[in-house]
Amino acid sequence: MKNIDEILAMAQNVQSELEKAQANLDTIEVEGASGGGLVKVKASAKGRIIGIAIDDSLMVASEKQMLEDLLTAAFNDARAKADAVSGTEMSKMTSGLQLPPGFKLPF
């Protein structure tokens, strides 16, 4: 069994690596789309919304409900892509760490 100093050093290393990975997630961009690309939502892999693009053809009062539905779908698509990228990036980070068997990180 490792001594307490080695365990504490490992925990500090894990915390440092997690902070780096979290910061990196905010620099990775994903794009969610709906309506065949009529509505696009750009987000960071951390889930921060960066921008929204709406095709001019949807900017009519009679299409309000459809636009709302397309925005919802585009946001959900962006969120799903952000979650996928986040999971991939975090698993890359943890694959290099020498964690004790059964040690789980909080994500």
Which domains does the chain possess?
4-95 (3.30.1310.10)
CB atoms within 10 A of CB 77: 19
Q: Looking at this protein, which amino acid is placed at residue 62?
A: S
- Do 89 and 45 contact (CB within 8 A), yes or no? yes
**pTM score of the predicted model:** 0.69
pLDDT, tens digit (0-9, with 9 covering 90-100), for 84-102: 998 888 777 766 666 556 6
Q: Is pLDDT at 107 greater than 70 in this prediction? A: no
Cβ neighbourhood burial of 96 (10 Å; 0-12, 13-18, 19+): exposed
